[in-house]
Chains A and B, each alone.
Chain A
């Protein structure tokens, strides 16, 4: 302590001052930044979400049956290259493929690759493709494409749909289902947990009983029972909203419990008493004191419950009770990998699985990092 200079002391004081005057959000961000794996997860997550949002621009083709490539069913991924035996080119290229059937192939359909110079398809950037609207503005520029024919960097499925386009669109759909589900669960949890926590007493006991009962029922079997309501005549969009709603309607108890516990402890704190003694109205106390005291925890809880929503949606779609074609979700994509044929012959069907695992992992890392960062005792315990 004796050899610290004056400048160091003032710096130290400034830092301390900054620490004590920092808002909850700033503190959480400071702690979050130190956690390397959570930060990496956050970057991956942002990247995936952005690629989901900008999917129409990033993908060359329509993800539904409209964008199918009739000449390239169950096609392997086409990786652009710069060189082959015919020489090199500055522009990456892929080869033209053709489905043929002749006496040579025993009259079976086979895909032939034309590796000559004429068969090269050059990759182009910012190509004009199928029109789409983004934020209400019509566009038809896509990030990349080829000069003739089509390019499938993740291959195609059995109907010739581009797996790359489908995967990015699926991320978007799964995120949307998760967002709606989390939002509904959040509103319900806030209402039920809020009422139970604020009033306490027998209202609390009754609501707790109800919450615990809903929590006891295994959710996936219940999801399945609810999803079976959906008549076959419903459109894909209606199914989508219904599934999101069901996810939200069953996902609220855990969150409600946490909000209630938090409110119960916070409303007996001294600062609330101080505000009450100063003559603050209940609405003022709730808005200015109680809500800010746990917004950060709620945000953390929401991030943590997100992957469960995505997992539930995937599980539902996987058994065929959730979303269905033509809606693309990660669950719908996973449904396609269930046959042994896929593992033996069409391994590129597994590419969406990797995206799915990475997405869930990223969410878990970020959620865990946020939870540690939001815990004010996480520093002192170490």
Chain B
């Protein structure tokens, strides 16, 4: 037990260290964007009619603390970031954690749901594909997983959207109907939400599912050929019992291990799918922040949050692996 808690603590410290490194990369990148918050804000004011001088920009810089050295500002930023505080958005002049708040959790929920969907589909289908000798089924599944890569999510989203526009006259966009967009959470709002949310989950999960099927299939067919499976079969275990008790358990560990990277892949799809489906959550907020306004403060916060959730997932999967896989457990306890 002591070794185990030591393992958890070491992993936790490593995860936090990774996050600090990530924050340094993200902060430096955001720092390299031409122009800073003060200039941007005042040039916005300028366009509203008031006259701005260089002295005003300098005063604004001091007010925002932008005159302090780089490392010091990073330190302040990272300490605040770990407390869930990201300062104010450059353009919108709103507190970022308030601005993101619910939106971030919604999009994280979306991504996690599509990750779960991907594996709920992929594990049985992948096992089936690995054990079945049916050439037709195997080739069909191969084609689907190839299409998962070649037909990017945004293209799929576009096609489904346009198809439904033509067929049903409803473009299926957004996460809520108009009347529920800013309403309080209620039974009706949840119902409305569930009616909309399946499409983004499906589209986000599309290529993840294709990849997962391929992974599960490859792992299973590797394991099935091994001697311990033959030995188990010789002892009279057969059928589903054999598959689930022996090769499937072995194949599970690498899958749990790669969950973090699967989430990473889904995050990659999020902004683009969000843009097409006009979901007003974190993904499209990022595009808004970057493309339209160069809002480095907001963009940095979003990238940091996304990476933090991946690091978090990696941390959790490490613990789960240590709990479920006797081999890993052995190596910790020693």
Contact = CB atoms under 8 A, between A and B. Distances in A.
Interface of A: 209-210, 212-222, 224-229, 231, 307, 311, 314-315, 318-321, 334, 337-338, 340, 343-344, 353, 357, 360-361, 364-365, 381
A216 B260 contact: yes
A318 B154 contact: yes
B303 A218 contact: yes
B290 A218 contact: no
Nearest to A222: B303
Contact of B271 (A215, A220, A307, A344): A220
B18 A212 contact: yes
B152 A315 contact: yes
A340 B307 contact: no
Contact of A360 (B32, B149, B276, B300): B149
A220 B152 contact: no
B69 interface: no
Interface of B: 18, 21-22, 25-26, 29-30, 32-34, 146-147, 149-152, 154-155, 158, 162-163, 165-166, 171, 225, 260-261, 264, 267-272, 275-276, 286-287, 290-291, 294, 299-300, 302-303, 306-307, 310-311, 314
Contact of B294 (A228, A357, A364): A228
A229 B30 contact: no
Given A213-B22, A217-B303, A228 B290 contact: yes
B299 A225 contact: yes
B290 A224 contact: yes
A320 B272 CA distance: 11
A357 B154 CA distance: 13
B306 A221 contact: yes
B83 to A, nearest CB: 21
Contacts of B146: 361, 364-365
Nearest to B35: A231
A228 B261 CA distance: 25
Nearest to A217: B307
A307 B155 CA distance: 16
A224 B268 contact: no
A380 to B, nearest CB: 11
Contact of B21 (A210, A319, A343): A210
Contact of A319 (B147, B171, B275, B294): B275
B290 A321 contact: yes
B287 A334 contact: no
Contact of A357 (B25, B151, B290, B302): B151
Interface centre among A217, A224, A226, A337 (most CB of B within 10 A): A217
Given A216-B264, A221-B286, A315 B272 contact: yes
A23 B130 CA distance: 33
Contacts of A219: 264, 268
Nearest to B163: A343
B271 A221 contact: yes
Contacts of A225: 26, 29-30, 290, 299-300, 303
Given A319-B275, A319-B291, A321-B290, A220 B25 contact: no
A122 to B, nearest CB: 37
A215 B30 CA distance: 18
A230 B264 CA distance: 25
B272 A220 contact: yes
A255 to B, nearest CB: 15
B208 to A, nearest CB: 13
A228 B18 CA distance: 25
